[in-house]
Amino acid sequence: MFIMYVDESGDCGLTSSPTNLFILAGLVIHELRWKPCLEELIRFRKSLKERFGLHLREEFHASKFITRPGDMLRIPRHKRLEMIRHYADFLDNLEGVNLFYVVVQKEGKESNYNVFEKAWTVLIQRFENTIKNRNFSGPLNPDEKGLIICDDTDNRKLMSLVRKMRKYNPIPNMRSFGAGYRNIPINYIIEDPFFRNSEHSYFIQSVDLAAYLLFQFIKPNNFMRKKGGNNYYKRFSKILCEHISTKYKGVVVL
């Protein structure tokens, strides 16, 4: 089974929104790699504690590290940025991990465009299809399935969407089939999504970092641009799933 941890950056609003971006990041790990990856994460967090003083119980929340550090003020800002860079390098070298994104560029979208539903639908479809086509790295069992675990979001809306997609999942026809849609219900994703508080999950904290770095690559704040942190997303090369999109490696843009 493949487990996809999901977090977002930006917001779903179309009107009076502070940003024109909404990003979903999916970090995919096979169940047989889960415990080794967790052990590597714990070792990495211990190294951050020894080098920077970040306690294991403290949440690694990338955006707050830069803009709203709270208790993290005890660690100089440039050191917090250094931790973010080390974390990106660590993830890119974590064996058997896959990363992909869905990005909604809200500018020009019609007022009835449902940012949340569109982004999540595409993320789920790509997760489903990549399992089906056996394109994720990691162990491959004869009949793999997928499970979604995410940070607290609009829980009821997401559960309803997944249940609907098990019955109705319209996919636009390719040109060779003509105009219109085919209904291809999802079959490879089991159960409703599970919701975790990011404070208690190193995996959710990891995908939070991944989402933040793509957002900063597209629309960086002044500090990240000045210090070069806007380019930390480029440190992801090995784990980006190239099968997700033919246009941008590991990134679907809506």
Distance of alpha carbon 247 from alpha carbon 253, whole angstroms: 9
Are the beta carbons of 30 and 96 closer than 8 angstroms? Answer: yes
* Domains, the chain, ordered by start: 2-253 (3.30.420.10)
Residue 232 has pLDDT above 90, yes or no: yes
Rounded to an integer, the average pLDDT of 207-222 is: 97
What value does the mean pLDDT of the chain take? 93
Q: How confident is the model at residue 246 (pLDDT cuts 50, 70, 90)?
A: confident
Distance of alpha carbon 97 from alpha carbon 240, whole angstroms: 9
* Sign of the dihedral through C-alpha 127, 130, 133, 135: negative
**Secondary structure of residue 246 in the 3-state scheme:** coil
- DSSP of 55-116: -TTS---HHHHHH--GGGGGS-HHHHHHHHHHHHHHHHT-TTEEEEEEEEE-TT--TT--HH
Q: How confident is the model at residue 182 (pLDDT cuts 50, 70, 90)?
A: confident
Distance of alpha carbon 30 from alpha carbon 230, whole angstroms: 30
pLDDT score at 177: 56
CA distances from 201 to 38, 46, 69, 205 (A): 10, 15, 19, 6
